[in-house]
Amino acid sequence: MSDASTPASWHANTLDCVHCGLCLEACPTYQVLGTETDSPRGRIYLMRALAEGRVTDTDAIRPHLDRCLDCRACETACPSGVRYGHVLEAVRAELRAQPPRTGRTTRSFRARLASFLLRAVVAHQGRLRWFFRFARAAELSGLRRLARALRILPADVDALVPHVPPGPARRPLPAVVPARGERRGRVALFTGCVMEQVFGEINRKTADLLAANGFDVVVPESQRCCGALLVHDGQLEPARELARRNLAAFADCEVVITNSAGCGALLRDYGHLLDTDTARAFASRCQDVTAFLARAGLRETPARFAAKVAYDAPCHLCHAQGVRTQPLELLRSVPGLELVAHPSAEDCCGSAGIYNLLQRDLASAIGRQKAKALATTGAAVVATGNPGCMMQIAASLRAEGTPLAVVHPVELLLPEPPS
């Protein structure tokens, strides 16, 4: 508990909330649960009470804070400009540092295991690569199926985690992918941890797309996981360590391109995380690939793609980065592609980093809403620019029996391969 005379640093941020409630319907957990304690306004109120020393038993409020997806849809809805994400992340860090008051723990085994894995594996590129080599082997040898049968690997986790692609697809990109045709500039690509291992193909396509449109793409070898999953988990120190390494890795890069909304949102928030001018300068150089290309303009017409496509906006792109129209602009330029209306495109899908592994029921309830909404759009394909969302939406669509394909927008923007 913070000393009442020196309220926690984040307390001031909670005061921006005037308790109007306009955030409620933007919140995925409130929509499912209906409890004020699981709404942004209610959580801010609980966090403010915590800072003011009015909470008697932190264990009673912890589950409500744990349930937050940190999707930041509430920040978009907030008329008073409350920086909800910053408050939540700081409070999670503070609660993590406190032992449970009653001696019992409200954190599940799964949550604790996940915290450990994030810190010990995901944060280390080398270990992560080994992990996925093992996972691939497990898949090939039938170990994954066995684990599933023995319930060591729970069914919901199994459904969510896509099959690990074969080795070559997981190989790191070359250090430089040179521009094709007339050279328009040089950009650096942030490859991410999960992205590289599970969606390596998309990294490759992102580099291709940038190169085809005239940009040299450099891929610094020393880059690390962005740390977003750690920040969501309240592990701020390990995240800061990763941030500092990334700052160094991209020190001489004018433009840093991300294709994962979650990573992009944190990279662009390094200024807040590290609170240094270097970090703030770095943050301002980071851009989502769609924002960058929409601004630069596509030089090469994308390959024809005759299908109805729904664009689903990752929370960390639309709410956290404010990137809304650019992906739509780019998709509209794809010959044959029909962009269908998707009114709830900015609603969270329930992925939220590793949330769908920790809050299974809630995440799948939220995911089902997303799948239902997508089914009504009439689209054959859904495009979304975040690996976690791609996995969650694919799993939700499967669970609902809705046959939509899930792609990354980048995949629809590549020009015809040279014949």
Of 252, 189, 248, 246, which is closest to residue 216 (Cα–Cα)? 189
Footprint on residues 30-49 left by other proteins (CB under 8 A): 30, 33-37, 39, 41-43, 45-46, 49
x/- letters, 49..78, toward other proteins (CB under 8 A): x--xxxxxxx-xx--x------------xx
Of 242, 286, 268, 262, which is closest to residue 128 (Cα–Cα)? 242
- Do the beta carbons of residue 349 and residue 392 sit within 8 Å? yes
**Nearest approach, Cβ of residue 67 and other proteins (Å):** 11
x/- letters, 298..337, toward other proteins (CB under 8 A): ----------------------------------------
Footprint on residues 336-355 left by other proteins (CB under 8 A): 343
Q: Which pair of structure tokens corresponds to residue 131?
A: 């992990």
Q: Per rule CB under 8 A, is residue 20 in the interface with other proteins?
A: yes
x/- letters, 81..120, toward other proteins (CB under 8 A): x---------------------------------------
**Nearest approach, Cβ of residue 22 and other proteins (Å):** 6
With respect to other proteins, which residue has the nearer C-beta, 46 or 193?
46
In whole angstroms, what is the distance from residue 125 CA to residue 127 CA? 6
In whole angstroms, what is the distance from residue 267 CA to residue 108 CA? 29
Q: Quote the radius of gyration of the chain (alpha carbons, Å).
A: 21
Chain center to CA of 180: 30
Of 6, 76, 85, which is closest to residue 44 (Cα–Cα)? 85
**Nearest approach, Cβ of residue 4 and other proteins (Å):** 3
In whole angstroms, what is the distance from residue 96 CA to residue 233 CA? 9
Burial of 218-255, coded b for 16+ CB within 10 Å and e otherwise, reads bbbeebbbbbbbbbbbbbbebbbebbbbbbebbeebeb
**Nearest approach, Cβ of residue 15 and other proteins (Å):** 4
Q: Per rule CB under 8 A, is residue 138 in the interface with other proteins?
A: no
Among 9, 10, 21, 96, binds other proteins (CB under 8 A): 21
x/- letters, 244..263, toward other proteins (CB under 8 A): --------------------
Among 16, 156, 241, 400, binds other proteins (CB under 8 A): 16
Of 377, 356, 357, 375, which is closest to residue 366 (Cα–Cα)? 356
Chain residues binding other proteins by CB under 8 A are 1, 3-5, 7, 15-16, 18-25, 30, 33-37, 39, 41-43, 45-46, 49, 52-58, 60-61, 64, 77-81, 343
